[in-house]
Homo-oligomer: A and B are copies of this chain.
Amino acid sequence: MCGIIGVSQHKDAAQLAYSGLYALQHRGEEAAGIATYDGHNILIKKQPGLVADAFDERAINYLQGDSAIGHCRYSTTGSSNQKNIQPFMVTHKNTPIAIAHNGNLTNTEALYRRLEEEGSIFQTTMDSEIIIHLLARQRNGSIEDAFVKVLAQLEGAYSLVFLVEGTVVGARDPRGFRPLCLGTIDGTYMLASESCSLDLIGAKFEREIEPGEIVFIKGKEIKSVYMPERKTMKKSHCIFENIYFARPDSDIFDDNIYQVRKRLGEQLAREFPVSDADFVMAIPDSGNYAALGYANELGLPLEMGIVRNHYIGRTFIQPTQLLRDLRVKIKLNPIQSVLQGKRIVVVEDSIVRGTTSRSRVESLRKAGAKEIHMRISCPPIKSPCFYGIDFPDSNELIAANKTVEEIAGFIKVDSLKYLSVEGMLKAMSLPENFCDACFTGNYPVQPPTNRSKYLMEHPYHHNTGG
C-alpha cells in the first residue's frame, strides 16, 4: 500500500506535502519522498524509513518551489532498493516529470516486454516507471490526450499523482480501487489519498476524485477529463480500506471510517453476542472502534486491558528463549489487575496469519484471563489481493487453510466468531460499490499470470545497489 499527495501553487508546497504525508504514514512505513518544481527543475528528496525520519528542516528548505507531490510506500511491486522509492522522476526533452503511485497494475509484464524490445532502458523495477516510458513515447497531441491514451493501456488499480513542470495531475483507475481526495487550501486545489491528510493541514475536503477521472491542477484552476472506460465498469472500492487500512478520522468511499467500524462492531454483537461476559476489550488500537460498538450494543462494560507502548521503534531483541515473550509484550502489555479471573470478549479487526492473535491470547492468559471469547469485525480472509493490499501468499492466510473451529483451536480461545459477509456489507453506506475479493474470491479484474512482485527484475538482480 502507499499514500500519495499533491499540492499546486502554494508557497509552502513542500511543508504541506510533508505534513500531509505524516497523516498518511499508516499507508506505508517503508519509505517516503517528495518532489517539488522550482520553476526550472524538479527537486527530489526520498529516504527509506518513516516520513518524520526522512525529512528534516534542511530537506524541506531544499525542496524549493510552489508545487509538490509526495509518496509514502509499503513495497508492493519491485524490491526495496533505494532507486525504487517514489516519486520517480525523469527529464525528457527538457521537460521534468515526476510520478507517485498507489495501487498495482495487472498487465505489467506485457507492457514491460514491449517497451524493452523497442529500446527503452529501465532505471527501476517499479511498474510505475512503465507509465513514464509510455508518456515519453506520446509524441503529438495535447497533454490531456496523452494522459488518456497512456492510462487506457493500464489495467488494475491506480491512484496517481504527477508533477509535470508546475502542473499537478491526479488520476484514479475506472473502478476506483484506491481512494484519492480533492481538497482546497488558501483557494488552491490539492490531492491526498485520504481526507485525514487534508484535515491535518487545515485544507477543506471538497470531494473524492471519481473513478476514471483525470484532473489537471494549476493552483485555483482545475480541469477534469474522463476515461471512456469508466462508463462500462462497476465500482470496486477496496473494502479492506474500511475495515483496517484507512485512518478512523478519514472520510473515503462516501463514508466515515470511525462510524463504519463502530457499526461493524455493533453488527458483530448482534450476530455473535457474549451477553454474560465480565467486560469487552479491544486489541488496541485497531480494534478500538469495533469494541466500542460491540460493548455499546450489548450494554457490557468496556475495559482497556492492554497498555499500548508508544515508543515502538526498531527494537533489537536477541534470539534467546528467555525473551520469546518480549516481542509480543513490548508493544502491548496486558494488565493483570484488570484481567485476573475474568471472562472477556476480545474484539479484533481481522486475522491474517493467526500467529499474532495466538501470541496475544497467550499473553492475556498469562495475565490471568479466565475465559477468552474472540470476535472479529470482518469475515475470514481467504484470497490474495492483486490491487495493492500486501497480504501474504494463500498458504500463509490462515482462513484459506483452516476452518473457523480449527483457527479457534490454533489461537486457543474459548470461542471465535467472524462477522458474516452480509453483515459486513450491511455496515457500509453503499454496499454495491465494493471489491470484497479477499473474502469471496470474486475478482473484478483478471489477476496477472505472473504474480511475482519482482517481475521487472533480472532473475538474480535484487541486490544491485549503488
A200 near B307 (CB under 8 angstroms)? Answer: no
> Is A354 close to B, CB under 8 A?
no
Partner pick for A44 among B12, B318, B466, CB 8 A cutoff: B466
Give A20 to B47 CA distance when docked, in angstroms.
31
Residue-by-residue, is A416-444 near B (CB-CB < 8 Å gives 1, otherwise 0)?
00000000000000000000000000000
Give A285 to B304 CA distance when docked, in angstroms.
11
> Is A463 close to B, CB under 8 A?
yes
- Nearest-Cβ distance from residue A366 to partner chain B, whole angstroms: 9
- Nearest-Cβ distance from residue A29 to partner chain B, whole angstroms: 8
Give A459 to B39 CA distance when docked, in angstroms.
12
- Nearest-Cβ distance from residue A134 to partner chain B, whole angstroms: 10
A41 near B292 (CB under 8 angstroms)? Answer: no
Residue-by-residue, is A289-324 near B (CB-CB < 8 Å gives 1, otherwise 0)?
100100010000111100111111111111010110
CB-nearest residue of chain B to A333 = B249
Partner pick for A458 among B96, B196, B289, CB 8 A cutoff: B96
Residues of B within 8 A of A315 (CB): 22, 52
> Is A15 close to B, CB under 8 A?
yes
Residues of B within 8 A of A60 (CB): 316, 318
Residues of B within 8 A of A292 (CB): 302-304
B202 near A121 (CB under 8 angstroms)? Answer: no
Residues of B within 8 A of A119 (CB): 118-120, 133, 136-137
Instruction: Tell me the residues in window 50-91 of chain A with beta carbons closer than 8 Å to chain B beta carbons.
Output: 50-53, 55-57, 60, 89-91
Residue-by-residue, is A22-45 near B (CB-CB < 8 Å gives 1, otherwise 0)?
110110010000000000111111
Partner pick for A320 among B15, B329, B335, B460, CB 8 A cutoff: B15
CB-nearest residue of chain B to A255 = B337
> Is A184 close to B, CB under 8 A?
no
> Is A132 close to B, CB under 8 A?
yes
A249 near B52 (CB under 8 angstroms)? Answer: no
> Is A394 close to B, CB under 8 A?
no
Residues of B within 8 A of A461 (CB): 40-41, 91, 96
- Nearest-Cβ distance from residue A99 to partner chain B, whole angstroms: 13
Given contacts A323-B202, A333-B249, contact A258 B338 (CB under 8 A): yes
- Nearest-Cβ distance from residue A455 to partner chain B, whole angstroms: 12
Give A196 to B178 CA distance when docked, in angstroms.
41
> Is A288 close to B, CB under 8 A?
yes
- Nearest-Cβ distance from residue A338 to partner chain B, whole angstroms: 6
CB-nearest residue of chain B to A464 = B41
Residues of B within 8 A of A101 (CB): none
Give A338 to B296 CA distance when docked, in angstroms.
15
B42 near A337 (CB under 8 angstroms)? Answer: no
> Is A92 close to B, CB under 8 A?
yes
A202 near B56 (CB under 8 angstroms)? Answer: no
Instruction: Tell me the residues in window 317-351 of chain A with beta carbons closer than 8 Å to chain B beta carbons.
Output: 317-318, 320, 322-323, 325-326, 329-330, 333-338
Partner pick for A460 among B40, B120, B303, B322, CB 8 A cutoff: B40
> Is A144 close to B, CB under 8 A?
no
CB-nearest residue of chain B to A89 = B464
Give A312 to B19 CA distance when docked, in angstroms.
12
- Nearest-Cβ distance from residue A183 to partner chain B, whole angstroms: 14
A29-B311, A123-B123 known; 20 new pairs, CB 8 Å cut-off, are A15-B323, A18-B316, A19-B317, A22-B309, A25-B311, A26-B311, A41-B458, A41-B461, A52-B312, A55-B316, A60-B316, A91-B461, A118-B119, A121-B121, A202-B322, A249-B333, A258-B304, A259-B338, A302-B302, A310-B312
